[in-house]
Amino acid sequence: MAGSVHEKPILQTLRGRKTESIPFWLMRQAGRYLPEYRAVRASKNGFLDMAFDPSSAAEITMQPVRRFRMDGAIIFSDILVIPWALGQNLEFLEGEGPRLGELNPGKLEMRDLEEKLSPVFEALSRTRDCLAAEGYDRTALIGFAGAPWTVVTYMVEGGGSKDFAKVKTMAYAQPENFARLMDILVESTAMYLIAQVRAGAEILQIFDTWAGALDPHGFQHQVIEPTRKIVERVKAAHPDIPIIGFPRGAAMHYPAYVAQTGVDAVGLDGLVCTKWAAAHLQTKCPVQGNLDPMRLLAGGEGLEKAARKILRDFSGGAHIFNLGHGIHKDTPPAHVERLAEIIREFPA
Ligand code: CP3
């Protein structure tokens, strides 16, 4: 049905067409701010147990859609399932975030990747069925992966990092070893995304959360180049799948990212000036974003004004409304409800 007027609104926007209202979804829209998420979480033995149970993952993916009728349902999983599937130990400690085991680059194994990640594919096809069965025929299913640079930061640092000392030392002092590691991630991420489309994903997003931590040379080689290779591979298998790239913090590098990676649309973080982006990015491809998640946390008049300014500034072209980064865990669901109203009321 590609190109038909019955196509889901977010897919139309991604192809650069006007829709009746501005489509929206929110990064990390499934999660701890929802009591129904916390209920599923409490019944499971930790995050991975929940993410790798296809029926829980599909249920959690549906939760925000049932409340707020987003135009996109992002599959419930995590970017760190790739290092896990390659053989690196992974744990999510309550209140502490991810912990990865020791990294042995020589021992990473791509062979069983699809088999190990089959619960994610099963969750995708179940979610497609749920969306159809529950009548959400305007909501598209979004698959995702972390970009190699962001994923490798967790693999080398063993978890989150403030200064990226270990991973940058590896990149700068052992460039060949680092390049081999990045090649494994390019290969496995492309395979993973291709399999997600086969399982029912209608859009893909590549999260490069730490793109803004690199110098210009690093941005070119660790963000743009690997992303370009992944996009090329995915498009060779599925030419029509729309791919959204999210190089958070890319700042002045956003135009080069759009020009060189081949992504169909670009996700903007909350620091990006909307008028600048309308002139320099939205003229090249659809844009997604970019409300500061803390505006949503705070609510009130400030939320309304900030959301309307974004809608206005991007009203001259293709725009998917989203946050500039993931939703904060203390966000009152009523604020999300209000935001959904503001977006739906806005004349596209
Ligand atoms: O957007 C969605 O609703 C889909 C689910 C999703 C999760 N993680 C679930 C999750 C997505 C798209 C991600 C991506 C992700 N994971 C990124 C890139 C985007 C971003 O937010 O920057 C990164 C860097 C990670 C790695 C990660 N996973 C961290 C740093 C943490 C701990 C911090 C935190 O928020 O707890 C996680 C755990 C995680 N992934 C949770 C969720 C809902 C919290 C798990 C819990 O319930 O305790």
For Cα atoms 239, 243, 244, give the angle at the middle one, nearest 5 degrees: 165
pTM, two decimals, is: 0.97
Residue 323 lies in a domain: yes
Residue 3 lies in a domain: no
Question: What is the reported pLDDT for 60?
Answer: 98
Question: What is the reported pLDDT for 64?
Answer: 98
Q: Which range is least confidently modeled, 57-71, 86-100, 301-315?
A: 86-100
Q: What is the residue with the minimal CA distance to atom 46 of ligand 1?
A: 47
Phi-psi region of 200 (alpha: psi -120 to 50; beta: other; left: phi over 0): left
Residue 4 lies in a domain: no
Question: What is the reported pLDDT for 18?
Answer: 82
Q: Average pLDDT over the chain, rounded to whole?
A: 96
Separation between Cα atoms, residue 182 and residue 325, nearest integer Å: 24
Residues whose CB is less than 8 angstroms from the CB of residue 183 and which lie 6 or more positions away in sequence, other chains included = none
Residue 327 lies in a domain: yes
Residue 52 CA to ligand 1 center (angstroms) comes to 14
Range of the domain at 279: 9-345
Residue 143 CA to ligand 1 center (angstroms) comes to 14
Q: For a substitution probing ligand 1, which of 53, 79, 331 has the most ligand atoms within 8 Å of its CB? A: 79
Among 146, 243, 132, 142, residue whose Cα is nearest residue 196: 142
Residue 195 lies in a domain: yes
Ligand 1 touching residue 210 (CB < 6 A): no
Ligand 1 touching residue 213 (CB < 6 A): no
> Would the pLDDT of 241 be above 50?
yes
Q: Which of 33, 37, 41, 313 is catalytic?
A: 41
Q: What is the residue with the minimal CA distance to atom 32 of ligand 1?
A: 97
> Would the pLDDT of 1 be above 60?
no
If you average pLDDT over residues 83-91, what whole number do you get? 98
Residue 27 lies in a domain: yes
Q: Is residue 233 among the annotated active site residues?
A: no
Q: Is residue 192 among the annotated active site residues?
A: no
Ligand 1 touching residue 328 (CB < 6 A): no
Which percentage of the chain shows pLDDT scores above 90? 95
What's the CATH code of the domain at 166? Answer: 3.20.20.210
Mapping DSSP onto H, E and C, the string for the chain reads CCCCCCCCHHHHHHCCCCCCCCCECCCCCCCCCCHHHHHHHHCCCCHHHHHCCHHHHHHHHHHHHHHHCCCEEECCCCCCHHHHHHCCCEEEECCCEEEECCCCHHHCCCCCHHHHCHHHHHHHHHHHHHHHHCCCCCCEEEEEEECHHHHHHHHHHCECCCCCHHHHHHHHHCHHHHHHHHHHHHHHHHHHHHHHHHCCCCEEEEEECCHHHCCHHHHHHHHHHHHHHHHHHHHHHCCCCCEEEEECCCHHHHHHHHHHHCCCEEECCCCCCHHHHHHHCCCCCCEEEEECHHHHHHCHHHHHHHHHHHHHHCCCCCEEEEECCCCCCCCCHHHHHHHHHHHHHCCC
pLDDT in tens, 129-185: 999 999 999 999 999 999 999 999 999 999 999 999 999 999 999 999 999 999 999
Ligand 1 touching residue 327 (CB < 6 A): no
Ligand 1 touching residue 122 (CB < 6 A): no
> Would the pLDDT of 95 be above 90?
no
> Would the pLDDT of 86 be above 80?
yes
CB 298: neighbour CB atoms within 10 A? 16
> Would the pLDDT of 39 be above 90?
yes
Ligand 1 touching residue 78 (CB < 6 A): yes
Question: What is the reported pLDDT for 4?
Answer: 54
What is the number of domains present in the chain? 1
Q: What is the residue with the minimal CA distance to atom 25 of ligand 1?
A: 79
pLDDT in tens, 309-348: 999 999 999 999 999 999 999 999 999 999 999 999 998 6
Residue 1 lies in a domain: no
pLDDT in tens, 258-309: 999 999 999 999 999 999 999 999 999 999 999 999 999 999 999 999 999 9
